[in-house]
A and B are shown apart, each in its own frame.
Chain A
Amino acid sequence: MMARIAKPAALLLLLAWATGADAAISGAVVARSTNWTAILMFLGFVGITLWVTAAAARRTRTVSDFYTGGGITGFQNGLAMAGDYCSAASFLGITSQIFNDGFDGLIYAIGFLVGWPIVLFLVAEKLRNLGRFTFADVASYRFLQGPVRSFSAVSTLLVVSFYLIAQMVGAGQLIQLLFGLPYLYAIIVVGGLMMVYVLFGGMRATSWVQIIKAVMLLCGASFLVFGVMSHVGFSFETLFARAVAVKTRLALETGLSPADAAAKGRAIMGPGGFIKDPISALSFGFALMLGTAGLPHILMRFFTVPDAREARKSILWATVWIGYFYALTFILGFGAIVLISFNPAYVDGAGALLGGNNMAVMHLAHAIGGNLFLGFISAVAFATILAVVAGLTLSAASAISHDIYASVIRKGDAEPAKELRVSRITTVLLGIAAIILGVVFQKQNVAFMVSLAFALAASGNFPVLVMSLLWKGCTTKGAAWGGAIGLLSAFGLTVVSPVIWVAVFGFEHAIFPYSSPALFSVPAGFLAIWLISILDRSPRAAIDRAAYPAQRLRSETGIDVHGPAAH
């Protein structure tokens, strides 16, 4: 089994670097010479994860094994969630943002963390008590399966696609940068490995890839922070004071007066230009806060633990690790200001990072731990992308096989073997689609796509989930159409907002002036569900409302809960 899996992947990798070193790269980022330490470290990671996948493949026989991985503890699931959530974009992007602007990077980091309490307080335990494989199990629990499952599947595919495009494009650029691989091969390596994990190991392999990656990321970042803090005598005050001094000196060198330079240096300690107008800031904040509770690949992770109790523990652990991780990135950003700002090996004459905008933490790793540690952190960044992409693919594959094929097309009596086959075929198609999307969007600005994914999840999935769980009056029509209206309004407002209307289509003024739609589209989703439900006088609506007490009882008590696996 091991050999059967390892061979194609090894071939793929060989193919990738054999041609990698000499290819010319165009585009915004400049490729480095092939980094062998990083490649060897990464191969070590791939070796371990393929071994885990092979072990998981031997035990992945039933549909339940494939979707839920046969059950893990709350602690393990918390780590896997952290692994799923802390993307390479946040590791590289937030540290670099702090390196450039100081405090502003922390606002972003906090936004990503505050969604977790909402997931915990409003949906986690009820989701676990009612569901089996996907969040649509819960959203459609007492409703007519067809419409609500179809909405959930479309919404899942939309959210996952935008998230996936951002990850794939980021992956291609990052790998080209760190390993000296050409963009196309980098994308193929990511797509190919992700297919192997999901195809053979299902959720069990995906969970373990995410857990291993989370541990590597947290250990690597902790070591870096230790290096930074030992440099400043373990005093935050010294760290900040020296960072301000560095920024002041940089400002002086640009010819500012001493007073202006001092003010510019101090500016990194307070909020700067990141939040310009309060409405955009709040809207973006709400997208992050409520979107987390609607991300299908995160919600799916609740079905890997046996009960509501472990589901709650998962979130507590996920919050601990994600919060710890963001605290580390904050220190790393300031550490980068202090340690690499004047080193010509890392920055050019104008103070810009060599090798691209996102490289602050990579240079810091080199400054603290040399080539070996740079290799380790590069391998961690690559592993991070793989883990996130695998989780996304698994949730999209289950939306198609479990929600569309088994529940809508086969009306709930699909043969498990066939359902499993459908999800595996879907995985292959999604892997190919991800590679193609990665290539198509290579030169596009994909920065808005992650926040769009959060806004869509907050405006579609989140209202449907909350209303179906907590409101007796919600009906099939209300959930399916109301959710669709929320989703569409988030999408439509994004299209006519500055990021697309002005930046992509080239119009002079945006119709919708704010950078995120959530402040308007989330209420629109809730309002639409409420309005359509109270106007719904169909016979089905009566059935939906009558079924609420039984659903509520199960969601509160966990009687008849579906176990994570049947063995």
Chain B
Amino acid sequence: MATPSTPDLAREARLASDPRYIALVRDRQRFSWTLTAIAVIVYTSFISLIAFDKPLMAQPIAGGTTSIAVVLGAAMLAGTVAICAVYVWRANGSYDARLAALLESVA
């Protein structure tokens, strides 16, 4: 695909070899894979609980009607939103700040 402007190859080489760039990519990648692993493991556990222990999931909490399944289900919905919020907060915050500083200093 054609790029809109002629790429500045020398600047790209400086960016790519800058230790701050290498550290940023490493940190952000580690963070996103960690969160991915958490999301996959939590969801897989939730489905496995349903598949393997239905009586446990159906148990009421605190002697009422509301069951463990309903509470965990609601927690899954809330947790999914929360894990996205954590990523966006960090990526748009400290990671973007580091990126902006890097792009500004490597002209």
Q: Please name all residues of chain B whose beta carbon is closer than 8 Å to the beta carbon of A369 when the two chains form the complex.
A: none
Would B54 and A141 count as touching, CB distance under 8 A? no
Which B24-83 residues have a C-beta within 8 angstroms of A?
24-25, 28, 32-33, 35-36, 39-40, 43-44, 46-48, 50-52, 54-55, 57-60, 64-67, 69-70, 73-74, 76-78, 80-81, 83
Known A-B contacts A269-B66, A553-B12, A557-B15; the reply to A117 vs B46 at CB < 8 A is: no
The answer to whether B80 touches A117, judged by C-beta atoms less than 8 angstroms apart, is: yes
A103 and B67 contacting across the interface, CB-CB below 8 Å: yes
Q: How far is the CA of A122 from the CA of B39 in the complex (A)?
A: 12
Q: Compute how far the CA of A278 lies from the CA of B57 in the bound complex, rounded to whole angstroms.
A: 15
Q: Would B88 and A120 count as touching, CB distance under 8 A? A: yes
Q: How far is the CA of A30 from the CA of B100 in the complex (A)?
A: 60
**Most A C-beta atoms less than 10 A away, residue of B36, B44, B84, B103:** B84
Distance (whole angstroms) from the CB of B69 to the closest CB of chain A: 5
Interface string of B1-40 (1 = CB under 8 A from A): 1111101000010011000010011001000110110011
Cβ-defined partner of B73 (8 Å) among A110, A118, A121, A281: A110
- Inter-chain CA distance A241–B64, complex, in Å, is 8
Q: Inside 8 A of A278's CB, which chain B residues have their CB?
A: 47-48, 51-52
**Residues of chain A within 8 A of B57, CB atoms compared:** 270-271
A114 at the interface (CB under 8 A from B): yes
B15, B21, B46, B50: residue with the most chain A Cβ atoms closer than 10 Å: B50
Tell yes or no: B105 within 8 A of A by CB. Answer: no
What B residues does A125 contact at CB under 8 A?
91
Complex contacts, A550 vs chain B, CB 8 Å: 7, 12
- Residues of chain B within 8 A (CB-CB) of A103 are 67, 69-70, 73
Interchain CB contact (< 8 A) of B84 among A315, A412, A559: A315
Q: How far is the CB of A462 from chain B (nearest CB, A)?
A: 13
Partner of A412, one of B1, B24, B50, B80: B1
How far is the CB of A292 from the nearest CB of chain B, in Å?
12
Given contacts A271-B50, A281-B50, contact A240 B70 (CB under 8 A): yes
Other-chain residue from B3, B39, B48, B78 in contact with A323 (beta carbon distance below 8 A): B78
Residue of A nearest to B24 (CB): A556
B5 contacts across to A, CB distance below 8 A: 560
Question: Are B25 and A556 in touch, CB under 8 angstroms?
Answer: yes
Q: Which residue of A lies closest to B11 (CB)?
A: A559
Q: Decide if A282 is an interface residue (CB 8 Å cutoff).
A: yes
Which residues of chain B are within 8 angstroms of A140 by Cβ–Cβ distance? Answer: 1
Interface residues of A in 124-162 (CB under 8 A from B): 125, 132, 137, 140-141, 145
User: Provided the pairs A281-B47, A323-B80, A553-B15 are in contact, do residues A316 and B35 lie with their beta carbons within 8 angstroms?
Assistant: no
Docked complex: A215-273 residues within 8 A CB-CB of B: 236-237, 240-241, 244, 266-267, 269-272
Contacts A132-B1, A275-B51; A121 near B32 (Cβ below 8 A) = yes
Asked whether A113 and B96 contact (CB < 8 A) given A236-B66, A316-B85, the answer is no
The answer to whether B87 touches A120 (Cβ under 8 A) is: yes
Q: What number of residue pairs across chains A and B have CB atoms under 8 A from each other? A: 163
B12 and A110: CB pair below 8 A? no
Known: A285-B47, A319-B84. A113 touches B58 (CB 8 A): no
Complex-state Cα separation, A420 to B65, whole angstroms: 58
Kindly report which residue of chain B lies nearest to residue A242, judged by CB atoms.
B65
Known: A275-B51, A315-B84, A560-B7. A121 touches B39 (CB 8 A): yes
Q: Contacts A326-B77, A327-B77 given; indicate if A289 touches B70 (C-beta within 8 A).
A: no
Bound Cα distance from A278 to B3, whole angstroms: 48
What residues on A are CB-neighbors of B77 within 8 Å?
A: 109-110, 113, 323, 326-327
Task: Report the separation of the CA atoms of residues A289 and B37 in the bound assembly, to the nearest whole angstrom.
Answer: 13
A559-B10 Cα distance, complex, nearest whole Å: 13
Contact A319 to B4, CB < 8 A, known contacts A114-B43, A120-B87, A271-B54: no
Would A121 and B36 count as touching, CB distance under 8 A? yes
**Least Cβ–Cβ distance between B57 and chain A, in angstroms:** 5
Q: Looking across the interface, which residue of chain A has its beta carbon closest to that of B39?
A: A117
Quote the shortest CB–CB distance from B84 to chain A (angstroms).
5
Closest A residue to B59 using CB positions: A270
Residue of chain B at shortest CB distance from A318: B84
Q: Is the CB of A557 within 8 A of B103?
A: yes
Say yes or no: is A277 at the interface (Cβ < 8 Å to chain B).
Answer: yes
A80 at the interface (CB under 8 A from B): no
Q: Identify the 5 closest CB pairs spanning chains A and B, nearest first.
A: A270-B58, A278-B51, A269-B67, A121-B32, A241-B65
Known: A110-B80, A275-B51, A285-B43. 7 other contacts (CB 8 A): A117-B84, A270-B55, A271-B50, A281-B51, A285-B44, A323-B78, A412-B2
Instruction: Return 5 A-B CB contacts under 8 Å, by A number.
Output: A285-B43, A316-B84, A327-B74, A553-B15, A557-B15
Residues of B with Cβ closer than 8 Å to A? Answer: 1-5, 7, 12, 15-16, 21, 24-25, 28, 32-33, 35-36, 39-40, 43-44, 46-48, 50-52, 54-55, 57-60, 64-67, 69-70, 73-74, 76-78, 80-81, 83-85, 87-88, 91-92, 96, 99, 102-103
